Amino acid sequence: MGLADVTLAATFTARLFFQDVLNGISLGAVFALLGLGVVLIYKSSGVLNFAHGSMAMFSTYVYFEITRTFTGIPVPVATLMAVAFGALLGAGSYYVVFRRMQDAGLLAKVIASLAVAGMLQGTAAFIWRNVTQARVPAQFGEGSTRLANVSLSHQELGTILITLLAGIALIQVLRRTTFGIALRATAQNRTAAKMLGVREQRVAATSWAIGGGLAALAGVLVIPLAVLTVYSMLGYMVRGFVAAVVGGFVSLPAALLGGFSLGAAQEALKATPAEQLSSVFAGLVIAFLLLGRVERFFALDQELRALQELG
Amino acid sequence: MTQTPVLEQPPASAAAEASASRRGPHPPVKRAVGVLALGLAGAALPPLLFDNTWNATFSLALIYALMGLSVVVLTGFVGQLSLMPATFVGLGAFTSGRFVTSLATPFWGAVPLAAAIVVPFALLIGMIALRLKGLYLAIMTLVFANVVETFLFKQEWYVGRERVVEAPRPHLGSVSFASDKNYYLLVYGVVALALLLLHNLSRSRTARACYAVRDNEDAAQAWGINVAKYKLLAFATSGLLAGLAGALFGHWLGSVSAGGQRSAFGLEFSLTIVFFTIVGGVRSIWGPVLGGTIWIVLVQRLLAGSPNGQNIAFSIFGVVVLLTMLYRPAGLVAWIADARRALSRGPAAGTAESA
């Protein structure tokens, strides 16, 4: 094998590598969007929302139904409608189920969220039983942009930008607005926050609505690149949880960072000889995060402890 | 309140024991005869009274009960929630099938081997779980289940190119267990034995230590209970039960498929197992027997005509689990216990007044 061949092979793998990393970042954006919602919901109400992926899936089916039935509605409007539906779903499940479980144990809340997930999965599978492998329209068209020797579709680019915007906006909201301060106060010391006049239920319901909306956003952004089935959001949700674990379910910036890096790293593995590792990567990462207690680098000790006591 | 019991339930057993002692001591021989008679009736009646299809349903219900028992041991006894019972079931099913078809192991060796192989996996999860607080275990098992489902259950060396492993039913000498009636007898024997052992275990010193760990880990530790030992014991037992159930399930099916779009041993199946166990009662060994039977009869019988029976049943069970968690976390077995207590108290109260 001549030197030229080696260089060629090297550039080829390098190109593949950067292409995979880029795709991974857009995939990671979806993990991050889901992770942000999971963190927000956990901070406000102490519920580990295992129904998050199902909420995203259900809202995406609603988006599919809107774009299929009412062809006159422009895609951006349909997207907003789906996000609004996700927000309603989130707030609704808080009011119907989790508001009543504020003082229930940790495990009881988790099981309740699993039950909500089961309900949504079963209902969606029943309503859309005749729809197999639905395709939904992309928000940013089918085109793609070439950057040096790698290319990124507009949809992926849009997903990355929207996620960054949403993440930064959310972090700022938590930092500066009254709602954000109330939410952080609740997460740090529930009793004290209540005594200072924080309306716990309103804060929690708002967080659930934002979380549900973000889940819907994640679904409608990623599914145009894949096919929609009742199970298609599951893998994303699992990795969204991994992103949330990075910040110990407390830190939003850590969830954002975690989502992006998990996506990039997982896809980058596909271009390496350790390709097989790509699908087990999330498992290795979660074991490392949990055993290494990585969350302590991102979250205040006080917040972590307060949340553990909440459960 | 630093430590909340994970599932609040009133201590019903004290009242039950009080009412039992009011009825006077049960002669142990009489009781043993009663249990034996009931056990034999359970073995004999279904094959005598029902056709093969119903017997297949009954044996599946018992296999599901065994899967649910793995949740009872882990969640009900030591308070650890794992979201990968179906993964262990899948491991048991594939492994037993492979032993029989590829290594020509007889069924009677393959099933215990398959169950035993799941134990180290469960112990590994348990060892990680020892270092985790509360809900992190649920997340970790969620991720691990997804990894096994998308990696191991797709490996050619394990499940074959078509992702289907044959798992024929056994025979013992000239007796074949291929028919649903005979396979029911086999499954019944295994499940009855498991229930008997678990019933005794659930009243032992070991189990009481487990309950202490479940209710308040710090307090249990302070009392000198070896928390790690009992947790690992529960993980190992749970894995063994799930693997055993999986092996029996595989041979019930005849051929084990990893599934296509709808993964056969994925989160949905795990949720199903957790759901029917909770509906039945997660702290009682009879909970999954009750819940599993209801689930199987619902899916296999009542909704069998609909191609979406499973989806409808899944939604229904989602609602029922929510109602259970909100109003009666002890599950259906608690209602039965209530009814029995009311029945035994009725005449007892009358005699007390007349005396």
The backbone region for A148, taken as left when phi is positive above 0, alpha when psi lies in -120 to 50, beta otherwise, is: left
3-class DSSP state of B80: coil
The interface predicted TM-score (ipTM) is 0.83
* pLDDT recorded at residue A305: 65
Check CB contact of B139 with chain A, cutoff 8 Å.
Answer: yes
Whole-angstrom Cα distance, residue A287 to residue A260? Answer: 18
In B, which residues are within 8 Å of A283 by CB distance? 143-144, 146-147
Whole-angstrom Cα distance, residue A126 to residue A114? Answer: 18
Whole-angstrom Cα distance, residue A304 to residue A63? Answer: 37
Angle at A202 between CA B7 and CA B9, to 5 degrees: 10
Check CB contact of A238 with chain B, cutoff 8 Å.
Answer: yes
In A, which residues are within 8 Å of B135 by CB distance? 48, 106-107, 110, 311
Quote the minimal CA–CA distance from B88 to chain A in Å: 16
Question: What confidence tens digit (pLDDT) does each residue in A154-178 have?
Answer: 888 899 999 999 999 999 998 899 8
CA trace torsion A29, A32, A36, A39 (10° rounding) = 170
The answer to whether residue A308 scores a pLDDT higher than 50 is yes
Nearest neighbour of A111 by CB, restricted to B143, B263, B325: B325
Check CB contact of A308 with chain B, cutoff 8 Å.
Answer: yes
Lowest mean per-residue pLDDT among A20-24, A212-216, A232-236, B13-17: B13-17
A2 pLDDT band, cuts 50/70/90, is low
Quote the minimal CA–CA distance from A138 to chain B in Å: 23
3-class DSSP state of A248: coil
The answer to whether residue B24 scores a pLDDT higher than 70 is no
Question: What confidence tens digit (pLDDT) does each residue in A246-281 have?
Answer: 888 888 899 999 999 999 988 888 777 777 777 788
Check CB contact of B30 with chain A, cutoff 8 Å.
Answer: no
Nearest neighbour of B144 by CB, restricted to A110, A122, A283: A283
Pairwise CB contact (< 8 Å): A308 & B133: yes
In B, which residues are within 8 Å of A122 by CB distance? 311-318
Other Cβ atoms closer than 10 A to B4: 19
Residues 73-132 of A with CB under 8 A from B: 97, 100-101, 104-108, 110-112, 114-123, 125-126, 129
Quote the minimal CA–CA distance from A82 to chain B in Å: 22
* pLDDT recorded at residue A291: 81
Check CB contact of B88 with chain A, cutoff 8 Å.
Answer: no
Best mutation target among B2, B3, B6 (most A Cβ atoms within 10 Å) is B6
Pairwise CB contact (< 8 Å): B75 & A107: yes
Quote the minimal CA–CA distance from A297 to chain B in Å: 17
* pLDDT recorded at residue B355: 34
Check CB contact of B124 with chain A, cutoff 8 Å.
Answer: no
Cα atoms found within 13 Å of the Cα of residue A273, Cβ hemisphere only:
1
Quote the minimal CA–CA distance from A97 to chain B in Å: 8
Nearest neighbour of B128 by CB, restricted to A100, A279, A287: A287
* pLDDT recorded at residue B113: 92
Whole-angstrom Cα distance, residue A174 to residue A191? Answer: 19
Pairwise CB contact (< 8 Å): B81 & A110: yes
Residues 260-279 of A with CB under 8 A from B: 276, 279
CA trace torsion B308, B311, B317, B322 (10° rounding) = -140
Quote the minimal CA–CA distance from B314 to chain A in Å: 5
Long-range contacts of B160-166 (CB under 8 A, 24+ apart): B163/B257, B163/B258, B163/B259, B164/B255, B164/B256, B164/B257, B164/B258, B165/B93, B165/B94, B165/B97, B165/B98, B165/B101, B165/B250, B165/B255, B165/B256, B165/B257, B166/B97, B166/B100, B166/B101, B166/B254, B166/B255, B166/B256
- Say what the pTM is: 0.86
With a pLDDT cut of 90, the percent of chain B lying above it is: 33
Quote the minimal CA–CA distance from A126 to chain B in Å: 6
Check CB contact of A282 with chain B, cutoff 8 Å.
Answer: yes
Whole-angstrom Cα distance, residue A307 to residue A4? Answer: 58
B351 pLDDT band, cuts 50/70/90, is very low
Pairwise CB contact (< 8 Å): B314 & A48: no
Q: Chain A to chain B, count of Cβ pairs less than 8 Å apart?
A: 154
Pairwise CB contact (< 8 Å): B8 & A108: yes
Per the model's pLDDT, the better-predicted residue between A133 and B118 turns out to be: B118
In A, which residues are within 8 Å of B268 by CB distance? 121, 231
Question: What confidence tens digit (pLDDT) does each residue in B37-54 have?
Answer: 888 888 778 877 888 888
Question: What confidence tens digit (pLDDT) does each residue in B180-200 have?
Answer: 888 888 999 999 999 999 999
Closest A-chain CA to B124 = A287
Pairwise CB contact (< 8 Å): B150 & A287: no
In A, which residues are within 8 Å of B9 by CB distance? none
Q: For residue B165, what are the β-bridge partners? A: B256
Closest CA to B135 of A15, A86, A269, A113: A113
Check CB contact of B127 with chain A, cutoff 8 Å.
Answer: no
The answer to whether residue A240 scores a pLDDT higher than 90 is yes
Whole-angstrom Cα distance, residue B148 to residue B154? Answer: 9
Pairwise CB contact (< 8 Å): A119 & B271: no
To which residue do tokens 């990355």 refer? A160
Q: Where are the alpha helices (DSSP H) in A70-153?
A: 75-96, 106-127
Nearest neighbour of A126 by CB, restricted to B278, B312, B321: B312
Pairwise CB contact (< 8 Å): A279 & B150: yes
Question: What confidence tens digit (pLDDT) does each residue in A28-40 have?
Answer: 999 999 999 999 9
Q: For residue A252, what are the β-bridge partners? A: none
Q: What is the DSSP letter of B204?
A: S
CA trace torsion A170, A176, A178, A180 (10° rounding) = 40
Check CB contact of A162 with chain B, cutoff 8 Å.
Answer: no
Question: What confidence tens digit (pLDDT) does each residue in B306-333 have?
Answer: 777 778 888 888 899 989 888 888 889 8
Quote the minimal CA–CA distance from A9 to chain B in Å: 28
Query: Cβ neighbours of residue A201 under 8 Å, at least 6 residues apart?
Result: A99
